[in-house]
Every structure is written in structure tokens, then in C-alpha cells.
């Protein structure tokens, strides 16, 4: 096996698979875990294999790697759940990009650097699900998150190019039957429809999560969509990184421009609070704007508490802000006062 992950050849009588059958040509990404070599085969076998530490690895001229004994053991679990190579297990989000509020008011936080999802209850954080460290595997690059009315958690992932339903006791499950490039924003309406902002294809998509992957429906074409929110009338509000940064998709599919000025430097997140107020985070301006339906933009009073606000969500009493450069969760009350919610 070369360092690039492409298998070259194995000396007799070795084979390249865990079941003793002849190996197929292919690419084998590999990485260290607990001192072992983990090999992921993409042809024929979907389960990572671990080569036990007792197996000697010999590097030869040309960078080819050979194994001196067929010391494969049991498949490695899909999710790594402990510290590796002496690195301490994190106790709080490392780079919180997005946040969603569950029916029980728990905070579900996308951590780009874990990668994975945290659950925070009463100021206590725990890892709900850990993503893969392998590029293009599920939750390798989580970007967005939404929680359904019955408490199911969905994550938009640009690594796996899909939206995944996640839980603590099952592997991530894709809900779209088609590739979704970069799902930057997610939002549920009152009917259980899940809207997805795909910034790669510049489209707003609709999915109806079920027990099997479903085909997405295109709702609107909007350049550079970054975040979504649904109001009580099931209209979809869109934050865009292009011109007309705040728009609204009506029930008939018509797209209405709400904010057309360039006052927003880097609009990143959007949320609608319990009284129907529209809030948009501006990462570069380090503030949150209240958006009027007439297009007016009112920033919060200057606050040094916000460092780099990105994803935001409404929790019934105000707005919760994911601030990756804290790293922290901030709370914005109805009067616009900003406090740090986590860590306490």
C-alpha cells in the first residue's frame, strides 16, 4: 500500500481483505487510531478494518507499504468515541457553527472541528454524535442543523454531501436520495417539511424526511443561500451572500426581496423569535440585526460579547447565537441585551 492509500501488492500468502478472499484494486484511505492502522476500503467493503498493532508494517523503496502478517481483527465502530493518540477528549464545542433548539429546550450545536454535534442541557455539554475524520464520509464537515417538532435531529453536511438524521445510538442516516452539495442552512415548517439551502447549486430544496431517503424538490433558485428560517405562515426566509441579502419565499413560490441594501457585511444566520421578529447575524459586523418586514435593519447596541456570530436560533425567550471564535453560545433577549449562555 502506498502512502497515497492506493494498494500496490502484498507478499504471498497475504490477501488484501479481512475474509481471506483476493483483494480488489482500489483506494484505501488509512489513519491511526489507538496505535493501530485503520483502513477504509471503498470497493466491495464499506466497514473500516483495523490492523492490529502486533502486525508489523514494512516500508520499502518507492513508498510501498506491506504487512508481514494477516492480522486483521474486528471491524472498527463507525464513530470514534474516545480520545486518540494522547489527545484529551473535548468537554465543550471547539468551533460551534450552528445551533438548533429542541422541543425540550436542549441546545444542539454543530461543531465543525470535532467534527460532530453536541447536546447542551442546563449548561452541561455532551457529544451527541461524532462525525468521521475521513473526507466525504458522514459528518466530516457539518454545517447546519435543525430539530423537528418531535425532537429528531438533522444535520447538513458538506463532507457527506447530504442531510443526515443523527442520534446517539445509530449511525448517521442520509435523508436525500440525491447528492446535496453544501447544505448551509436547514429549517422546518409547521407541516414537517425540511428546507435546505444548497450554496453549491444556489438552490432552496424541500425534503419530507421518512424512513427511506427521498428525492428533494426544488423550491427556488437563490444565489449563495447561507441560512433559512420558517415563520408561522410557513414562508421561508433566506439569508444570501449575494445581492438582496434577505429574501422570503412565499407559499406560491414567489421570491420577495426584504433587504436590498448592502448594510449587511456578512449575513450568516437567520431566526424568527416567538413574537415574529426577524433576526440576522452579521459575522463581520459582530452583531445581530433586527429585520423589519419593510426592509429596515436595526443592529443591536454595541457589545463586545459577540466575537463572530454565525448560526442563530430562537428559543422562545430570545435568540441563541453560535459564536465559533468564543467559542461560546450567546443569548440575546427581547431587549437586545447579549449574555454568554455557554460556557457558564
The pTM of this model reads 0.76
What is the span of the domain harbouring residue 209?
Answer: 96-342
Is 69 within a domain?
no
Query: What integer pLDDT is reported at residue 278 of this predicted model?
Result: 96
Residue 338 CA to residue 336 CA, distance in Å, equals 6
Tell me the pLDDT band of 87, cut-offs 50, 70 and 90.
low
Count of domains for the chain: 1
More confident residue, 58 or 330: 330
Does some domain include residue 205? yes
The domain that contains 331 carries what CATH number?
Answer: 2.120.10.30
For 168-215, how does the pLDDT look when each residue is reduced to its tens digit (9 = 90+)?
999 999 999 999 999 999 999 999 999 999 999 999 999 999 999 999
Q: Is residue 288 part of a domain?
A: yes
Rounded alpha-carbon distances, angstroms, from residue 174 to 138, 177, 262: 8, 8, 37
Strand pairing class (162-167; 170-174):
antiparallel
Q: Residue 257's beta-bridge partner residues?
A: 247
Look at the block and give the residue holding cell 450567546: 330
Confirm whether 67 is domain-assigned: no
Residue with more model confidence, 153 or 83? 153
Reference 267, options 304, 235, 225; nearest CA is 225
Percent of the chain having pLDDT more than 70?
74
pLDDT exceeds cutoff 60 at 333: yes
In a domain, residue 39? The reply is no
pLDDT tens digits, 264-321:
999 999 999 999 999 999 999 999 999 998 999 999 987 788 999 999 999 988 999 9
* 149-168 per-position pLDDT tens digit: 999 999 999 999 999 999 99
Q: Per the domain annotation, does 108 fall within a domain?
A: yes
Residue 316 in any domain: the answer is yes
DSSP, res 90: P
Please report whether residue 31 resides in a domain.
no
**23 has pLDDT over 80:** no
Contacts 24+ apart (CB under 8 A), 1-6: 1/28, 1/30, 1/39, 1/64, 1/65, 1/66, 2/62, 2/63, 2/64, 2/65, 3/63, 3/65, 5/29, 5/30
DSSP code string of 246-276: EEEE-TTS-EEEEE-SS--SSEEEEEE-TT-
Amino acid at each position: 500500500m502506498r502512502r497515497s492509500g492506493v494498494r500496490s501488492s502484498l507478499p504471498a500468502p497475504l490477501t488484501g481483505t479481512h475474509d481471506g478472499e483476493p483483494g480488489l484494486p482500489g483506494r484505501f484511505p488509512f489513519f491511526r487510531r489507538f496505535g493501530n492502522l485503520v483502513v477504509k476500503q471503498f470497493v466491495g467493503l464499506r466497514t473500516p478494518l483495523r490492523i492490529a498493532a502486533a502486525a508489523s508494517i514494512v516500508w520499502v523503496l518507492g513508498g510501498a507499504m506491506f504487512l508481514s502478517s494477516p492480522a486483521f481483527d474486528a471491524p472498527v465502530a463507525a464513530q470514534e468515541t474516545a480520545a486518540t493518540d494522547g489527545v484529551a477528549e473535548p468537554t465543550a464545542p471547539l468551533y460551534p457553527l450552528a445551533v438548533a433548539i429542541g422541543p425540550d429546550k436542549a441546545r444542539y450545536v454543530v461543531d465543525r472541528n470535532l467534527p460532530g454535534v453536541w447536546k447542551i442541557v442546563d449548561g452541561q455539554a455532551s457529544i451527541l454524535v461524532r462525525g468521521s475524520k475521513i473526507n466525504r464520509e458522514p459528518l466530516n464537515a457539518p454545517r447546519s442543523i435543525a430539530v423537528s417538532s418531535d425532537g429528531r435531529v438533522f444535520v447538513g453536511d458538506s463532507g457527506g454531501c447530504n442531510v443526515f438524521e443523527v442520534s446517539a445510538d445509530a449511525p448517521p442516516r442520509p435523508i436525500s436520495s440525491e447528492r446535496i452539495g453544501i447544505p448551509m442552512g436547514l429549517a422546518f415548517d409547521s407541516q414537517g417539511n425540511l428546507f435546505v439551502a444548497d450554496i453549491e447549486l444556489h438552490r432552496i430544496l424541500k425534503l419530507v424526511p421518512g424512513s427511506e431517503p427521498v428525492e428533494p424538490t426544488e423550491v427556488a433558485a437563490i444565489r449563495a443561500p447561507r441560512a433559512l428560517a420558517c415563520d408561522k405562515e410557513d414562508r421561508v426566509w433566506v439569508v444570501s451572500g449575494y445581492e438582496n441579502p434577505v429574501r422570503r419565499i412565499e407559499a406560491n413560490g414567489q421570491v420577495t426581496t426584504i433587504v436590498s441594501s448592502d448594510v449587511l457585511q456578512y449575513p450568516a444566520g437567520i431566526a424568527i423569535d416567538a413574537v415574529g421578529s426577524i433576526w440576522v447575524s452579521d459575522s463581520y459586523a459582530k452583531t445581530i440585526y433586527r429585520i423589519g418586514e419593510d426592509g429596515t435593519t436595526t443592529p443591536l447596541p454595541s457589545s463586545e460579547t459577540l466575537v463572530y456570530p454565525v448560526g442563530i436560533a430562537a428559543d422562545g425567550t430570545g435568540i441563541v447565537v453560535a459564536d465559533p471564535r468564543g467559542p461560546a453560545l450567546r443569548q440575546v433577549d427581547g431587549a437586545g441585551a447579549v449574555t454568554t449562555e455557554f460556557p457558564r
